[in-house]
Structure 1
């Protein structure tokens, strides 16, 4: 597990505040779930709703009040103080397509990074009240209790997931198809929730095409704190300053086996 001396700044306080942010986002999101909403298309054709914007606004206001010297990078409202060493990276609803179609497999992502490295992450499903909290040097907590990823190392017995094969280019799709055939079971969709399920021992491998820092920063401490491994497809650490192709696995052996199918794609 990676470790940096970031939590000399009151780890418990920061973790408590991240939980508070998740509570605020959930309170903003729940009234809109399975309601008829106006859905807008952003520049990349992805949907956005009042729930996305209300949740991010609530979190941003709380951060500005508590940590006015920290940076904030959110999917809906962009970046403030990008030069600050501490950055809160927010995705108010990861899986808005699921949200607008009434599927409860979306989540709020909250990350805190220090000089580009994720040190704290929250995956929160506000309707099912499921929450994973990861912090460097600590075990991942799921709904108040420590959780661990699956120790099995046989790819032929592994469950692999991705949000959508339609997000891969031709070479990536071919690589994922080879990996999928090598695994026992594959699931499509799930967005951030499947990364939480890696930490809880139900999913073994997750593969995503090029995603933004707000899509993956929070996932790193959650997966690593449960004993998993999360990198880009070439096995390099994720540093949150650039888009990345993400590979997460329940343990180092599974990660190496899955990466063999993906590297070079």
Structure 2
């Protein structure tokens, strides 16, 4: 059975890490400028006093849940501190709190993904190479999954545009892969997971167009996969793309031709029906 694309809700359900917060249960109050300034000064004070990153993250969590501040500068100041200390669990918590507060600042999420998914050097068999640490990749992907789930459950005025963060995550996994001594990480599956969340988050259409092209090529170029597995994955990723706001007429056509040539006529028919339903 081929591994299926996991979107925000599925990816988090399968994750063995403690589940993180996604969306606030209560509507946010309208924060006042004075309250937001006070929150930012409090973070600066905590940092100056030498408090630990987890203490900063706990304060940010409180502010987020109470609706006192949705100013991206507040969350960025806290995030920069935790990232500088390489405490990615606390950095993730801060990003999760920003999502709860509906902070729509792609620079915030891009900064987190950029640092968490930076490659580090590994030595294996006397050969040194670079890869992304599994744990930090999990931190980054949980943030992206939360953004996707948030956007699925919020109105257009509360949606978060983190398109560049999704693209950067795919770029990093594509180039470096993910290293962990305890498990074998399949970069293709991870990229497909990120792409599924990107679609759920309603990624910028031009960026989504390029990502679909890359993910589709990655599936077909997988030399270790059988034709049946390639067909199933091509169908799955194409069907999800058709259901999204991303359009790619050329690849939609190629996917149907590929499925038909491999005897997957029912899947091909399903894609045609989806194109009609979604007017693509």
TM-score relative to the length of structure 2: 0.29
TM-score relative to the length of structure 1: 0.30
The structure number with the bigger radius of gyration is 2
Task: Specify which structure has the higher proportion of helix.
Answer: 2
